[in-house]
Amino acid sequence: MFHTVAALFKAVGYAAALTAAGTVMARASLARGLPAVPTTLGLTRWAGVVLSVTAWATALLFFLRLGGDGSSATLKAIFLSPLGAALGLQMIGGLWVAVYAKRAVALAGALLILGAFGVVGHSASHGLQTSVTVVLHVTAAAWWFGGLWVLLVAGRTLPADRFADLVGRFSRQAMVVVCLLLAAALMTSALLLEFRLVPTLAYPRGLLTKLALTGGLLMLAGINKLILTPRLAVRPKARVWLRWMIAADLLLFVGIIATTAYVTTYLSPHAASAAMHTHQGQFQVEGPIGIADPWAPAMPGSAATGAGYMVIVNNQPVDDRLVAVSSPWAERVTLHASIMEDEIARMRRLEALPIPHGGRVVLEPGTFHLMFSGLYAPFVAGDSVPVTLTFEQAGRVDVVLTVHPLTRQRLPGHEH
């Protein structure tokens, strides 16, 4: 439920951010020498207010999700983190745009809003280069989205000759903006996916969905530029058809925004990257916590305990910890880490296993593993062993370990 609400807040926030920042930029670049379009000022103000409110609501949502106890750890996780910085930029930028929508200084608020996209999320976790490319991508998308709103409103209020002039300006500037948008999007995707595209994974599929919707936008833009725009001066109906096409463009943008909200809430490029380095490259569980390639080695006849391995990916914007494990196949399941003492590998029991936000932890022979004690049946190759993982923030996550022959990986000794 939490993540569904978070995704909805993100979708509304993204739409408000693109509208607030985009209409400010589009008016500044398109409306020089033309009368202002008063209706878009109201739209800009409302978008700024909605963005600010959504940012506050998102902060409150995470506060409640983290326990709502007001402890220093909870407040630090929200306000002294990249998430808090991004929400702060959105709040201030949204209110700034709402207050100064009529003045040139509204551009400062738009810059704050756009900068928030480079502070937190998948892009920020990959370094400065990806943050820069995603901000450029969002800036181009915002201008395009805001420009469509300006054209849609101007189509009802401006005289035919001035409207045709405005459409012409938009078409010329859009050619440069679209090139920037596509270049930044491709570079961002390449960096996030580490220059590897595996269409069978969920995160790349989400990016491909956005690319398909963007292709639809480009197709409509081509029709607008090559067919409808030249006819504005000679065919009155062309203006009506152009407004309908602009409305279709905005709907496609809404689809892109919804897809982005889903991808950034439930999926992660870290998961895609981790899957490429796991034994089979498949994710069994996707969401706030992703689980890749859960497996266990078959047990030799004399073994009294079993081991389990997997890759755990934290797709949440906050750190988490694996605090408990259970399975109907064993009386007890515990977490262990491999350590070297006097050149002897020993196992040390862990009370919890930290997983940083946007990061992953690999449970594999020689590092971390699950230990199954008091087994009701030994692990035999081909078995499926159900396991419940309990995380401090994400809650319960159910996985199934696939038992492989012992020769797949050498099982480390269990010296305690």
Give the model's pLDDT for residue 280. Answer: 44
The whole-number pLDDT of residue 195 equals: 73
Q: Which of 289, 262, 264, 263 is nearest to 274 (CA)?
A: 289
Q: What integer pLDDT is reported at residue 414 of this predicted model? A: 41
What pLDDT was estimated at residue 73?
A: 63
Instruction: Report the candidate in 6, 23, 19 with the shortest Cα–Cα distance to residue 253.
Output: 19
- Domain limits, the chain: 2-267, 272-408
CA 203 to each of CA 189, 207, 271, 343, 392: distance values in angstroms, whole numbers, following the listed order: 10, 6, 8, 42, 25
- Residue 193's pLDDT is 74
pLDDT attached to residue 26: 92
pLDDT score, position 410: 41
Q: What is the pLDDT of residue 24?
A: 95
For the entire predicted model, the pTM comes to 0.72
Q: What is the pLDDT of residue 343?
A: 61
> Consecutive 10-residue runs of the chain (416 residues): their mean pLDDT?
80 96 92 63 94 93 72 69 86 96 93 91 69 93 95 85 86 93 89 72 82 92 88 83 93 94 73 49 72 87 80 86 89 85 74 88 90 83 87 88 72 41
Residue-level pLDDT at 374: 81
Residues 117, 140 contacting (CB under 8 angstroms): no
Q: What's the confidence (pLDDT) of residue 352?
A: 92
> What pLDDT does 122 receive?
60
Predicted confidence at residue 82, as pLDDT, reads: 77
pLDDT of residue 136: 95
Class of domain 272-408: mainly beta
